[in-house]
Amino acid sequence: MWRQVLALLIKELLTVLSDRKSRVVLIGPPLIQLMVFGYAATFDLNKVPIAIYNQDRSAASRDLVAHFTGSPTFNVVANLKSEKPIDDLIDSREVRMVLVIDPRFTRNLLSGHPAPVQMIVDGRNSNTALLIQGYANNILNDYALAWNARKGAPPPPAVLDMRARFNPTLDSHWFIVPGIIALLTQLVTLLIVGMSVARERETGTFDQLLVTPLRQFDILLGKGLPSLLIGGIEATVIIAATVWWFDIPLRGELLALYFGLLLFVVSVTGIGLMISSLAVTQQQALLGAFLFMVPSVILSGFATPIANMSEWVQYLTFINPMRYFLIIVRKVFLEGADFSALTAQYWPMAVIGLVTLITAAWLFRKRLS
């Protein structure tokens, strides 16, 4: 019996890998995407174009402007002479923020009244808008505290001493790049199994497979193992690149990561095979693959936190294997987690894998009539 399964496995691997276009698609793009996405996916601000409208023009306000020119976060592209161009500059996205320094700035500072400063921010990307305000506030606070110290004004009763655990410089690549491991592994797995049964259904070879002595379980093995093999190998390459190319610290147990990877690929394979066996045509299978893949990625916590989602969507994410695997990847990489810390993530994936694989095997024959 194992010989038969092996024969089927070889046949499946051949169908995936013998077509030159299909081979190229499976190997090239995921690795290219790793490199591009690894650099593209960032929430860190870098040289944000801003303009400054300084109506005060004294030493104190010029010093404040210098704080902004010297910051690596901002790139001062224009010094305005009037407020007229402000709206246009922001509307056309030439600058993301305009800092307006009031004419009373120095006078108020010297007389001990609060000196007015205004930030006008482009809110089309609200996240960037919030981050810009955060960075600008930091600069303004530093300036304010330095001014106080210079003038011998009493210091504030308390100051913040902020630290970040697990990612001290708050580099968002540390968060995103491990997530890409999950993203691309799921992609490769779905590419292999998402349309495989549907293709054989459409060409009629699946019926031939069903009349061989192979049991449903054997067919399931033959259909599922290629994705496990190829998905596992590609994931390994991506993990290696994460550690050695992107320099993301790997602090936990590699074995704990791989156990999660195994369960993740099995559960995605189950879902892919289920979609593929439900579909009558390849177009339907492709539609099904997208209907699963898109929400599973966007609602996984990859880019936007699950805690921010509305409650019923949060419940929906419990059937999403990627949700669990993302937690595993990040906990192992950044928090140094081991096996015991991850059991809460392992078992749901095991359940999802089991249920979907059994359903897929059941659907193999069910659709024959």
What strands, in cross-sheet order, belong to the sheet with 48-54?
Answer: 74-79, 48-54, 97-101
Answer yes or no whether residue 187 interacts with another protein by CB under 8 A.
Answer: yes
Q: What angle do CA 114, 64, 167 make, to 5 degrees?
A: 100
C-beta closer to another protein: residue 70 or 249: 249
Answer yes or no whether residue 153 interacts with another protein by CB under 8 A.
Answer: yes
C-beta closer to another protein: residue 3 or 21: 21
Answer yes or no whether residue 85 interacts with another protein by CB under 8 A.
Answer: no
Select from 222-230, 250-258, 260-268, 295-303 the region that touches another protein (CB under 8 A).
Answer: 295-303
Scanning residues 318 to 357, which ones bind another protein (CB under 8 A)?
330, 334-335
Scanning residues 89 to 128, which ones bind another protein (CB under 8 A)?
90-93, 96, 108-109, 112-128
- If residue 101 lies in a helix (H) or strand (E), which one and from where to where? strand 97-101
* Alpha-carbon Rg for the chain in angstroms: 28
Map residues 28-47 to x or -, x wherever contact with another protein holds by CB under 8 A: -xx--x--xx-xxxxxxxx-
Residue pair 238/184 in contact by the 8 Å Cβ criterion: yes
Scanning residues 202 to 231, which ones bind another protein (CB under 8 A)?
202
Scanning residues 253 to 282, which ones bind another protein (CB under 8 A)?
281-282
DSSP SS3 for 289 = helix
For strand 97-101 and strand 74-79, is the pairing parallel, antiparallel, or unpaired?
unpaired
Closest CB 182 distance from another protein, rounded Å: 12
Find tokens 């106080």 and name the residue. 148
C-beta closer to another protein: residue 175 or 264: 175
Scanning residues 158 to 177, which ones bind another protein (CB under 8 A)?
158-168, 170-172, 174-175
Closest CB 358 distance from another protein, rounded Å: 25
341's tokens: 């810390």
d(C-alpha 257, C-alpha 337), whole Å: 9
Q: Which residues contact 276 (CB under 8 A, 6 or more apart)?
A: 193, 194, 195, 196, 197, 198, 285, 288, 360
Q: Which of 18, 308, 340, 343 binds another protein (CB under 8 A)?
A: 308
Q: Which of 5, 8, 26, 342 binds another protein (CB under 8 A)?
A: 26
Answer yes or no whether residue 141 interacts with another protein by CB under 8 A.
Answer: yes
Select from 157-165, 223-231, 235-243, 253-261 the region that touches another protein (CB under 8 A).
Answer: 157-165
Q: Is 78 exposed, middle or buried (0-12, 13-18, 19+ CB in 10 A)?
A: middle
Among candidate residues 44, 41, 125, 134, the one with its CA nearest the CA of residue 90: 125
Select from 207-215, 227-235, 265-273, 308-316 the region that touches another protein (CB under 8 A).
Answer: 308-316
368 backbone dihedrals φ, ψ, rounded to 5°: -60, -45
Closest CB 350 distance from another protein, rounded Å: 21
Total chain residues near another protein (CB under 8 A): 118
